[in-house]
């Protein structure tokens, strides 16, 4: 049984139908990518999972239907790093990290994870007392990821992590995600514009087109299919 | 030339001004709390404080002395504030700011009317919180009551500051006010944080009412209205989104009003409010976001 | 829906409103007619507030004070300067318009709550100022035209003769206020659909965008305050007549200003017809509440509860419901 499963999920913003019935799954310890052009419904797919948009259809996580409130979704074990990273610009790095662990009650575990986060991202340790808004784009992306990990999620949702970052910073970011996946078995659903990068770092991928799944399959397969690459991925 | 005796008089008036300013500050911080959480000025804040004061008054009529009544009332106000938010504010959570503001005006009428209904329009008086004796410091006689009120007001505000700065819940409340969307994604129950804010604000209002009532000698159900006006003015003077600004603005206003009332006789009691507001208006025209407020970044 | 159809629908609605205003007194008792006349004064003031808050996005908690300016203009001119009361109505509007411009000055720099406080300061200061300058205003005693200028107070002595007909005093006041109200509503309707109205809405929706497309936002804010002041002044002037030709500082204590904002929001900002409902709300709901129970404080409880209920059930006001009801009609046309 997959960790996350979407069955016939549709969503609309007012008169605009953003998703027209999506089927998608993420297995235990798997990295899955969602690709597609602007407006294809990538971000909405993530928002449908974390219930920040009204949806119809079924979203099942670890065998149970997800509740319809974002705070309850977070409590169920899903961490969502939204577009624009969703860090609290006016709060310090330290406070952002502590907020990540808001839903947890195990003090000792939180303390350990906090120390590990600062170990994994040394720059954050350096800027612990600084307001998050003063960090560079790459540092903020690290903070967003670190904060999501403080939640100790089973599934991580990443929305366009490469947006506005230098290629080297993006590569570092995806390396950390791959590490987390290998070492801790973290499942990841990542939405990306950069198809080449996303396919290289995922095991399976879905290509969306105007709110529907146009193609789905193993990332390696999709990379090899020249016609798929041309018509959907544009490289 | 101003003689030594006059300087003692000024010092006394400043302390008396800080004392009333402390009451304004407590209520002003309550206003800021709700403003930051929901973006509205709670017009009912003063009436809620009045209601709390009348509850405490009832307790003192039933054998409680001042401080136990104070503690019980502040705790009950906290619960009452949460309940009020759940019943009347939550249903309009997604409505426009103006709609929410009008709801608080409705609550103003309900609470004011209810207090008249329950406690009859006769004036009441409250036992004193502090000794009425004066205390001599450096040869100048100060009122213990004034100093006590300053102390309690500052203590209340300081406790609140500690709560927001150093507790997990306080941090979550700040996050919810800054960015509700992201807060939900990290699992914070934003709607409850707002209710909690109403609870804290109402409890703080109770402190303000209970500090303000005894020195008045006698008070009726409208006694908090001028205090709300000054608290609002103090908060705006300091910058409505800054709690520190609200405290400084309110204290400054308290001192200013007191000196104005004592030394500028032509102003009289009638024009005191108007004069105070005119001065604040002058300050705002120079600093449109208050003394400590952050200038709004305007989006197109 | 085409522009022509929309204008035609507007005209039909206007004709229906005129007809309703004309026939209503036949079913009203004398005392009721007087109450409706008071509501008419609120209607006019709220129309002005709607132009300012609903269309230009500027908050004012000081419109009660602008009404006071209009009211005292009428009272002073009639009592001391030999004017007939009716002729002072437009003058009251103009003087209040001047006051509105002044009140609009801080709006050039302040916004949101800061502007709310500035206008509220005006509302709070007004009664104190009226008492202070008692030589002109009669101080806390106020001005009673019934005593001072009985012959120049139209209808004070008995029925009024208009166009060869005899009309009871309260009916006359009713027709006067609602007639004036309809004319001013029509003027507002034209105004918001024209160039000025477009500028107002641009200021409301985004000041930065309005300024960058060449609109002088400071000027239009002041203009909105001025026009809005005219409406409030006319409403205040008429309020003297319907309050038995009497005005005093307590007539326009700051709670009138709050009441007007309540009327405008309950009516539904941005909707002209909603403003009439808002005016009826602030006139009749408090007296209805008084009938339910007149224990001390009870009417205030019921009035407040009614405000809260309306806002919870109809967050966009009574006018929003009206629009929803008529929308299917006009879209089908």
Q: What are the pLDDT tens digits along chain C (333 aa)?
A: 567 777 787 788 778 888 887 778 778 787 888 899 999 999 999 999 999 998 998 989 999 999 999 999 999 999 888 888 888 999 999 999 999 999 998 888 887 878 888 888 888 888 888 888 888 888 888 888 877 777 777 777 777 777 777 778 888 889 999 999 999 999 998 999 889 999 999 988 888 888 888 888 889 999 999 999 999 999 999 999 998 888 999 898 888 899 999 999 999 888 888 899 999 999 999 888 888 888 888 999 999 999 999 999 988 888 877 777 766 555 444
Number of folded domains in chain B? 1
With a CB cutoff of 8 Å and minimum separation 6, the contacts of C297 are B112, B113, B114, B115, B116, B117, B118, B121, B221
Q: Which residues of chain B have pLDDT under 70?
A: 1-5, 266-270, 293-300
B292 domain residue, yes or no? no
d(CA C63, CA C282): 15
Give yes or no for residue A178 having a pLDDT over 60.
yes
- The DSSP line for chain B is ---HHHHHHHHHHHHHHHHHHHHHHHHHHHHHHHHHHHSS--TTHHHHHHHHHHHHHHHHHTT--HHHHHHHHHHHHHHHHHHHIIIIIGGGTTS-HHHHHHHHHHHHHHHHHHHHHHH-SS-B----SS--SEEEETTEEEEHHHHHHHHHHHHHHHHHHHHHHHSHHHHHHHHHHH-HHHHHHTT--HHHHHHHHHHHHHHHHHHHHHHHTGGGSSB-TTTTHHHHHHHHHHHHHH-TT-HHHHHHHHHHHHHHHHHHHHH-GGGTTTTHHHHHHHHHHHHHHHSTTTTTPPPPPPP-
What residues pair up with A216 in beta bridges, in sequence order? A206
Count Cβ atoms below 10 Å from residue B41 Cβ, excluding itself. Answer: 26
Contacts of B111 (CB under 8 A, 6+ apart): B44, B47, B48, B50, B51, C304
Q: Do B277 and C303 touch (CB under 8 A)?
A: no
pLDDT tens digits, A61-116: 999 999 889 999 999 999 999 988 889 999 999 999 999 999 999 999 999 999 99
Bridge partner residues of C144 (DSSP) = C246
Residue bearing the bigger pLDDT, A117 or C158: A117
Q: Mutual orientation of helices C169-193 and C217-242 as an angle, nearest 10°?
A: 170
- Report the candidate in C123, C54, C117 with the shortest Cα–Cα distance to residue B35: C117
Q: Determine, yes or no, domain membership for C5.
A: no
Interface of C with B in 136-195 (CB under 8 A): none
* Burial of residue B267 (number of CB atoms within 10 Å: 0-12, 13-18, 19+): middle
Check if the beta carbon of residue C238 is closer than 8 Å to that of residue C155.
no
| B189: closest chain A residue by CA | A71
Domain count, chain C: 1
The Cβ of residue A65 has, within 10 Å, a number of other Cβ atoms equal to: 9
Residue C55 to residues A165, B249, C211, Cα–Cα distance (Å): 42, 33, 16
Predicted model pTM: 0.88
- In this complex, which of B99, B105, B300 lies closest to C209 when CB atoms are compared? B300
- Tell me which DSSP letter residue A2 carries: -
> Best residue in B170, B175, B186 to probe A by mutation, most A CBs within 10 Å?
B186
User: For residue B174, which residues of chain A lie inside 8 Å, CB to CB?
Assistant: 91
Closest CA to A121 of A84, A76, A70, A87: A87
CATH number at residue B187: 1.10.3470
Least Cα distance to C241 among C167, C172, C330 occurs for C172
For residue B196, give its domain range.
4-286
B291 domain residue, yes or no: no
Tokens of B93: 């959570």
List the CATH number of the domain containing C49. 1.10.3470
Segment 67-126 of chain A within 8 Å of chain B by CB: 69-71, 74-75, 79-80, 82, 86-88, 90-91, 95, 98-100, 102-103
Residue at C302 is within a domain = no
In a domain? residue B300: no
- Two tokens, residue A86: 């969703």
Strand ranges inside chain C, DSSP E: 143-144, 160-162, 165-167, 246-247
Q: Please tell me which of the candidates B94, B115, B273 has its beta carbon nearest to residue C124.
A: B273
Asked whether the beta carbons of B288 and C114 are under 8 A apart, the reply is: yes
Of residues C220, C317, C223, C312, the one with CA closest to residue C273: C317
Contact B178 A87 (CB under 8 A): no
A151 touches chain B (CB under 8 A): yes
In a domain, C113, yes or no: yes
CB contact under 8 A, A52 and B172: no
Say if residues B105 and C258 touch (Cβ distance below 8 Å).
yes
Residue A234: left if φ>0, alpha if ψ -120 to 50, beta else—which one?
Answer: left
Range of the domain at C166: 31-283
Report yes or no on B234 lying in a domain: yes
> Which structure tokens are listed for B296?
């709004």
Of chain A, the percentage scoring pLDDT greater than 90 comes to 64
* Within a domain: B92: yes
Tell if the CB–CB gap between C125 and B273 is shorter than 8 Å. Answer: yes
């Amino acid at each position: 049984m997959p960790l996350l499963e979407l069955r016939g999920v549709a969503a609309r913003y007012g008169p605009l139908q953003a998703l027209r019935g999506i089927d998608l799954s993420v297995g235990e310890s798997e990295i899955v990518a969602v690709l597609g052009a602007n407006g294809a419904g990538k971000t909405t797919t993530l928002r449908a999972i974390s219930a920040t948009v009204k949806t119809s259809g079924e979203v099942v996580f670890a065998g149970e239907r997800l509740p319809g409130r974002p705070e309850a979704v977070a409590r169920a074990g899903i961490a969502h790093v939204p577009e624009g990273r969703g860090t609290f610009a006016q709060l310090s790095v330290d406070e952002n990290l502590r907020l990540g662990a808001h839903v947890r009650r195990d003090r000792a575990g939180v303390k350990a994870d906090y120390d590990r986060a600062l170990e994994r991202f040394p720059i954050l340790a350096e800027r612990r007392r600084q307001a998050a808004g003063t960090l560079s784009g790459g540092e903020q992306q690290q903070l967003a990821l670190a904060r999501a990990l403080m939640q100790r999620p089973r599934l991580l949702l990443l929305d366009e992590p490469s947006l506005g970052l230098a290629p080297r910073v993006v590569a570092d970011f995806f390396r950390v995600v791959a590490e987390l996946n290998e070492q801790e078995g973290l499942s990841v659903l990542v939405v990306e514009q950069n198809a080449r990068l996303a396919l290289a770092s995922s095991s399976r991928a879905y290509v969306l087109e105007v709110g529907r799944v146009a193609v789905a399959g193993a990332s390696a397969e999709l990379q090899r299919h020249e016609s798929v690459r041309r018509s959907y991925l544009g490289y | 030339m101003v003689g030594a005796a006059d300087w003692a008089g000024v010092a006394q008036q400043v302390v008396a001004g800080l004392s009333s300013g402390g009451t304004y500050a407590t209520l002003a911080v309550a206003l800021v709390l709700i403003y930051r959480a929901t973006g509205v000025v709670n017009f009912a804040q003063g009436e809620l404080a009045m209601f709390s004061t009348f509850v405490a008054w009832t307790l003192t009529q039933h054998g409680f002395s001042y401080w136990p009544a104070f503690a019980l009332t502040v705790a009950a106000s906290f619960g009452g504030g949460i309940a009020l938010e759940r019943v009347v504010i939550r249903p309009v959570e997604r409505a426009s700011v103006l709609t929410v503001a009008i709801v608080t005006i409705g609550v103003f009428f309900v609470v004011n009317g209810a207090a008249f209904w329950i406690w009859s329009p006769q004036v009441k008086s409250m036992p004193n919180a502090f000794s009425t004796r004066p205390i001599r410091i450096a040869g100048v006689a100060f009122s213990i009551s004034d100093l006590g009120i300053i102390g309690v007001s500052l203590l209340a505000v300081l406790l609140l500051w500690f709560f927001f700065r150093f507790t997990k819940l306080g941090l979550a409340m700040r996050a919810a006010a800054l960015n509700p969307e992201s807060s939900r994604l990290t699992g914070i129950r934003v709607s409850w944080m707002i209710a909690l804010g109403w609870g804290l604000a109402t409890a703080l209002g109770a402190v303000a009412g209970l500090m303000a009532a005894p020195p008045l000698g006698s008070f009726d159900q409208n006694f908090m209205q001028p205090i709300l006006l000054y608290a609002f003015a103090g908060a705006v003077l300091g910058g409505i989104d800054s709690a520190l600004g609200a405290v400084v603005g309110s204290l400054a206003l308290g001192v200013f009003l007191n000196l104005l009332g004592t030394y500028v006789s032509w102003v009289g009691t009638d024009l005191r409010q108007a004069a105070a507001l005119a001065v604040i208006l002058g300050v705002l025209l120079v600093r449109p976001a208050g003394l400590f407020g952050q200038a709004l970044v305007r989006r197109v | 829906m085409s522009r022509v159809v929309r204008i035609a629908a507007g005209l039909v609605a206007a004709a229906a409103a005129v007809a309703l205003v004309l026939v209503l007194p036949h079913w009203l008792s004398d005392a009721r007619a007087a109450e409706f006349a008071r509501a008419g004064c609120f209607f006019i003031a709220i129309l002005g507030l709607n132009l300012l808050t609903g269309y230009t996005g500027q908050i004012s908690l000081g419109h009660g004070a602008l009404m006071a300016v209009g009211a005292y203009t009428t009272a002073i001119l009639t009592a001391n300067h030999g004017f007939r009361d009716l002729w002072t109505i437009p003058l009251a509007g103009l003087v209040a318009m001047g006051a509105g411009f002044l009140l609009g000055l801080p709006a050039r720099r302040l916004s949101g709550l800061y502007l709310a406080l500035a206008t509220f300061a005006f509302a709070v200061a007004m009664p104190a100022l009226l008492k202070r300058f008692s030589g002109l205003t009669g101080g806390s005693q106020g001005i009673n035209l019934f005593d001072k200028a009985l012959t120049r107070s139209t209808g004070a002595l008995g029925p009024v003769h208009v166009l060869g007909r005899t009309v009871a005093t309260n009916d006359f006041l009713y027709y006067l206020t609602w007639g004036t109200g309809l004319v001013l509503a029509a003027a507002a309707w034209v105004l918001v659909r024209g160039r000025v109205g477009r500028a107002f809405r641009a200021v409301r929706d985004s000041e930065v965008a309005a300024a960058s497309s060449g609109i002088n936002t400071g000027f239009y804010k002041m203009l909105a305050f001025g026009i809005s002041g005219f409406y409030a002044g006319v409403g205040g002037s008429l309020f003297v007549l319907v309050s038995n030709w009497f005005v005093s500082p307590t007539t326009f204590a700051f709670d009138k200003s709050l009441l007007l904002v309540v009327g405008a929001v309950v009516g539904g900002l941005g909707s002209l017809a909603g403003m009439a409902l808002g005016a009826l709300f602030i006139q009749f709901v408090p007296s209805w509440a008084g009938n339910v129970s007149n224990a001390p404080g009870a009417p205030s409880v019921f009035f407040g509860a009614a405000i809260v209920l309306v806002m919870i059930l109809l967050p966009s006001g009574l006018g929003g419901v009206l629009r929803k009801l008529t929308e299917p009609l006009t879209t089908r046309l």
